[in-house]
Amino acid sequence: MVSAALEIVVSSLVAGLVYIVYRLLRVPDNLRPFPSVPIYKLVKWAFWSTTPRAQYLEMREPLYRAHEVYRIWNFGRWKLIFNNPDHIHQIYRLTNSAIDKVPLTSAANYSAITTFLGNGIIFAGLKDWHRIRKVVNPAFAHPWSTEEFGVCMQRLVQTVRRQMPDKGALIRVDRLIKRVTLDIFGKVLIDYDFNCVEKPDSPYAAAIIKIMDEITMPLFSAFPFLDLIPGIRRAQLYRDIATFDELLFSLIQTKLQQQQQPGKPPYPAKGSSDLLGMMLDASDAKDADRLSPKELRDNLTNFFVAGFDTSAASINHWLFMLAKDPHVQARARLEVLEAMGDELPWDAVPTSEQINGLKYVNATIMENLRYNPPISLTAGRMVVKDCQIGPYHVARGTALGMHLYALHFDDRLWTDPLAFQPERFLVTDANGSNDKHNWLPFGMGARKCLGTNFAMQEMRVITTMMLRCFEWSLPADAIYADIRSPAFGTFSPTDVVLNLRARL
């Protein structure tokens, strides 16, 4: 009797679960005609790290050649992904009119990524986005001095040298680069010194690094409901988010109190230039647009997600590409030495003028962003008004995204796209332009990356200082031809070990 009842309960639970999975994975009628990336491949990605190129070749190439648009299951819904360059440009142009972003809070509200990002700028719908941009635009219009990035880099250079008794050692660089980009972010964004390069285990630094490592785990991005299941749910991740919130809210509170002090000097006071302070100042001017502490917190977490791992990933890829190609490395270093000389202290921070003159170094950064776009798949968009994209009629309510990796490797747009050739960004046509039209690592249009200038300046300072202070190569027993990343759509390399030798 008892076992019969148990059988009924278990069968009902299984039937319920099957029904939920069926409902979740059911393809909307209007998306049925499009070819699909098989779910088992997404699951495979979720468990094995891969290289961006392998992922592209394995998943997309067959679909890409045959079809310029296909559907993929991502973050709890089916999405159309566009590969064709003309269609990608068209989607960018339609963004903020027929196409909007999908606020994360509209789906899987319980998921770790939604808990962390809240309703911040990255996924904000048009109405909220206008309000947020009004407050954050002035802060991002600020010209970044090289000093702001360089002082954090000096700490990294000194730490690495301490690990090199004979001026050379095998160094796990991906961790170090993450730490220095976190230090830069802390200083420039929220006026807080994580000092992660020297003390990586301090609670707030450890919390945010853990969050960044886990927040976009492919398995949970594809199947966010897993965060609801006890035993599978990433409980520690939610605790790390709470720890980091503690820091953000206390900094916001302190800044708000400072701002309310009578006789407070106009911002920026004493040359201070952190983004949080500037955002508060901008919202102070117009009360109606003022962001609440929770909104400020949501946008800060958005900046961390948008800018911290992307910059670190990009620099790690750059170091790797230049280790693979010693000629490119030598040419870039020569340019730095000519601009800065060997007379300055060995860890000198380059000036803006010096950096602006480094055309070849800049070309290596641009080529690296083409070759390894940290955000290869931009999703999170929704059609809000029926529209035509190329020959396709796309109905209201369709979620879609663009495959920037496909754009950057399209042999109709790029000569020999598989070759790493910084020179391609030195060549200009009669109008003085080069391939930049199809170079979209930062996206384009209204929702183009807000941190483009920040990221480019940060990368210029870090790469210049690396070239001046070190030479590097792949370890003799390196087994990898390309670096791996446990990711889907965004790529953050892990296990990058390089043979580093101090130059000065």
d(C-alpha 208, C-alpha 127), whole Å:
29
Write a three-state SS string for 82-128: ECCHHHHHHHHHHECCCEEECCHHHCCCCCHHHHHHCCCCCCCCHHH
Helices and strands (DSSP H and E) totals, the chain: 19, 10
- Select the residue whose beta carbon is closest to ligand HEM and give its number: 451
What separation in angstroms does the CA of 156 have from each of 8, 147, 315? 62, 14, 14
Those residues with Cβ within 8 angstroms of residue 300's Cβ, 6 or more apart along the chain or in another chain? 189, 190, 248, 276
Residue window 452-471: x/- pattern of binding to ligand HEM, with contact defined by CB under 6 A: --xx----------------
| Residue position matching structure tokens 């384009």 | 444
- Among 376, 374, 362, 378, smallest CA distance to 317 is for 374
Does 103 sit near ligand HEM (CB under 6 A)? no
| Residue position matching structure tokens 């798949």 | 377
Q: Minimum Å distance from CB 342 to ligand HEM?
A: 30
The correct pick among 220, 223, 303, 405 for binding ligand HEM (CB under 6 A) is: 303
The correct pick among 103, 150, 224, 441 for binding ligand HEM (CB under 6 A) is: 441
The correct pick among 72, 122, 247, 469 for binding ligand HEM (CB under 6 A) is: 122
From 80-88, 108-116, 288-296, 440-448, span contacting ligand HEM (CB under 6 A): 440-448
Q: Minimum Å distance from CB 441 to ligand HEM?
A: 5
d(C-alpha 52, C-alpha 82), whole Å:
17
From 27-35, 60-68, 237-245, 309-317, span contacting ligand HEM (CB under 6 A): 309-317
Residue 387 annotated as lining a ligand binding site: no
d(C-alpha 130, C-alpha 112), whole Å:
26
What separation in angstroms does the CA of 337 have from each of 295, 354, 409? 45, 10, 32
From 57-65, 66-74, 435-443, 464-472, span contacting ligand HEM (CB under 6 A): 435-443
Dihedral sign, Cα of residue 467, residue 470, residue 473, residue 478: negative
Q: Minimum Å distance from CB 65 to ligand HEM?
A: 24
Q: Which helix (H) or strand (E) holds 273?
A: none
Residues 135-154 that bind ligand HEM (CB under 6 A): none
Environment class of 107 (CB within 10 Å of its CB; exposed 0-12, middle 13-18, buried 19+): middle
Residue 184 or 500 with smaller CB distance to ligand HEM: 184
Query: How many other β-carbons are positioned within 10 Å of the β-carbon of residue 463?
Result: 26
Residues 355-394 that bind ligand HEM (CB under 6 A): 374-375, 378, 380
Residue 299 or 340 with smaller CB distance to ligand HEM: 299
Residue 63 or 182 with smaller CB distance to ligand HEM: 182
Helix (H, G, I), strand (E, B) or coil at 503: coil
First-to-last C-alpha distance (Å) of the chain: 82
Q: Minimum Å distance from CB 314 to ligand HEM?
A: 4
- What is the chain's Cα-based Rg? 24
| Residue position matching structure tokens 């391609």 | 424
d(C-alpha 9, C-alpha 17), whole Å:
12
Q: Minimum Å distance from CB 269 to ligand HEM?
A: 22
The correct pick among 74, 146, 310, 354 for binding ligand HEM (CB under 6 A) is: 310
Q: Minimum Å distance from CB 443 to ligand HEM?
A: 3
Does 307 sit near ligand HEM (CB under 6 A)? yes
Amino acid at the residue 320: F
Q: Minimum Å distance from CB 229 to ligand HEM?
A: 29
Residue 42 or 88 with smaller CB distance to ligand HEM: 88
Residue 456 or 498 with smaller CB distance to ligand HEM: 456
Total of chain residues touching ligand HEM, rule CB under 6 A:
22
Q: Minimum Å distance from CB 288 to ligand HEM?
A: 20
Does 450 sit near ligand HEM (CB under 6 A)? yes
Q: Minimum Å distance from CB 242 to ligand HEM?
A: 23
| Residue position matching structure tokens 């090199």 | 164
| Binding stretches for ligand HEM (CB under 6 A) | 121-122, 302-303, 306-307, 310-311, 314, 374-375, 378, 380, 441-443, 447, 449-451, 454-455
Binding-site positions for heme read 449
Annotated binding-site positions: 449
